[in-house]
Structure 1
Amino acid sequence: MADSLQTVMDYAVAVARKAGEVVQTALAGDRKVMTKSSAVDLVTQTDQKVEKLIIQSVKEKFPTHRFIGEESVAAGEACELTNEPTWIIDPIDGTTNFVHSFPFVAVSIGFSVNKQVEVGVVYSCLEDKMFTARRGRGAFCNGEPLQVSEQTDVHQSIIATEFGSNRDPEVVDKIFCSMKNVLKLPVHGVRSAGTAAINMCLVASGCVEAYYEIGMHVWDIAAGSLIVSEAGGLVLDVDGGQVDLMSRRVLAANNRSIAEKIVKEIVLFRPPRDDALDHKQ
């Protein structure tokens, strides 16, 4: 399995870089924008083109492997994480950023076996930063080792979060209530990169001490979750319990002390699980 995982890692890096080139080229041209679940849940032809490129490329190399892809699921395919070798793909994490040329756009590729992520690759296309991790082998950015922040004082921390695409007033109120609670701890600041994958890589890089969100999807965080843990951090549910990648709730932190303080400030709600959504509607 070890050698086969290295083959998967090498291929994931190569296909992520190829996908990133498509994204970079598209930024210079016309970006036709469409919507999915709401007026702020955006998708472009580039999202669809990149996912098709990744899946077709991987199928040629690994014909028996399964896939969970954001755009495939949006088109009606099942979002089911099994014990089988599975590629979990977000072709453009940060589509809204992409549409507006906001410079944080990532290709995220996770690979799981027995429902456990074994390989994680996040390519920040516009920064040309390739984040990689293999379980038990550490995390890296452009080949350099990553290490989470050593900060233990939440008052001297930066916390990352996102606002999501759900504009239901009750959900929005809970999101802002959580942010207000965190800000008033106080912390040095609250930041938002506009992409879950890059937020998690910022935790792994030691740039921020924690990232939390409710409402993202498994393809947003599968790769990043391994990168954080392999950089010495931890990944939990926002209630402090064990993370479930299908639950659409995550807290990534540099250490348990910071995580426990953030957990106390988050106003909880439960979005529909990824494996329970009816994506055909």
Structure 2
Amino acid sequence: MSTYSRELEVAELAVQRAAILTKKVFHEKAKGTVSKDDKSPVTIGDFGAQALIIQAIKKNFPGDEVVGEEEASTLRDNHKLRDEIWALVKGTKLTDADSEKLLGGPVESVDAMLNAIDAGNSAGGSKGRIWALDPIDGTKGFLRGGQYAVCLALMVDGEVKVGALGCPNLPVDDSAPLTADSGMDQTDAEGKGVLFSAVFGQGATSRPLTAGGLAQSKPIHMKPVNDITQATFCESVEAGHSSHGDQAAIAAKLQITKPSVRMDSQSKYGSIARGAGDIYLRLPVSATYQEKIWDHAAGDLIVREAGGQVTDTLGRRLDFSKGRTLAENKGVVAAPSAVHSIVLDVVKEVLSKK
């Protein structure tokens, strides 16, 4: 057994099972949306996916902590919403019995579901084994019918060791290039649904998402960028997440003329890791905003294991040891290793003039 092989298998299967649940909700017109204190939306899919994944982690690694995005206080007060989520959770399982057994089987009761959701309350930090979980990354994309991802990463003493991303609306075909409309009006129809994963020091892979056991995987690599003017940029759909104006200025200085591909979620990390795109920028829109670790941990590892570099806008590696946020970092610059320094220099130049 290779290092972290069991953690990887549990992570991949847990993400795959959670993706089955999110796909059910994706096809519903009413997704059970509520708002959190920061006004960001959360759906019944977020709660259900978090319950399924944390239950699988706790069954397999009971001493591990989880930094999860959601908590169950709303559901303890809103029984109608709670019952909707419970119906989803108890009805979601893998069709492969051995895989389902590995995850610990179904969630046993409503209380077990609520307790699993609330077990994502770790403060994070630099010691021990801590999982970072975003049950639906890109909830706004999920709601509008765009891209989203189910994201899970294991950190050991502050270093990301295992990462898994389930992207139900991305094409299975690793060679399919991103286009300007890749982030909108998407489906999980035939030929869609990919599971990216990586273990530190062991490379990155992709495989089709299934409803049962894990499909055959294949290694993925970032595409060599021989002419940076022909590179494809990825950025967030929401202007509140990344500065579109700064991105355009950076593209102009690099003489990149292709329109940027705007997509929600860590599907951007997976897309550049397999060479469907080339560069991902998330540029600060606020001097005080701190990125959440669950929004980057899995994607950061997958890109680096696929031959890329991921830093913040000052060239510092993303530091996942500071708690629930990337408190010591500003923004994200992800690119193939050979051109990362070129992109970073232009990012610094543009941002220094603000």
The answer to whether 1:237 aligns with 2:307 is: no
Other-structure match for 1:132: 197
The answer to whether 1:261 aligns with 2:336 is: no
The answer to whether 1:228 aligns with 2:228 is: no
Q: Distance in 2 between matches of 1:178 and 1:37?
A: 28
Matching residue within 232, 237, 247 for 1:158: 232
Other-structure match for 1:144: 218
The Cα offsets for residues 154-212 of structure 1, whole Å up to 9 and x where unpaired, read as 21111111255748xxxx7xx133122123122133112111x1111111111222112
| Amino acid corresponding to residue 130 of structure 1 in structure 2 | L
Other-structure match for 1:193: 263
Other-structure match for 1:211: 280
TM-score (norm 1): 0.83
| Amino acid corresponding to residue 200 of structure 2 in structure 1 | R
RMSD of aligned alpha carbons: 2.5
SS of 1:82's partner is coil
Matching residue within 81, 91, 103 for 2:135: 91
Q: Distance in 2 between matches of 1:70 and 1:161?
A: 22
Other-structure match for 1:61: 60
The answer to whether 1:112 aligns with 2:155 is: yes
CA displacement at 1:73 relative to structure 2: 11
Q: Distance in 1 between matches of 2:35 and 2:341?
A: 34
Other-structure match for 1:33: 33
Greater Cα shift, 13-22 or 156-165: 156-165
Q: Distance in 1 between matches of 2:72 and 2:205?
A: 29
Extract unaligned runs of 5+ from structure 2: 74-117, 170-191, 208-216, 321-325
Residues 234 and 255, structure 1, Cα contact 8 Å, conserved in 2: yes
CA displacement at 1:101 relative to structure 2: 1.8
Q: Distance in 2 between matches of 1:165 and 1:33?
A: 21
Aligned residue pairs, count: 259
Q: 1:120 to 1:176 in 2, by over 3 A?
A: same
Q: Distance in 2 between matches of 1:100 and 1:233?
A: 30
Q: Distance in 2 between matches of 1:138 and 1:164?
A: 31
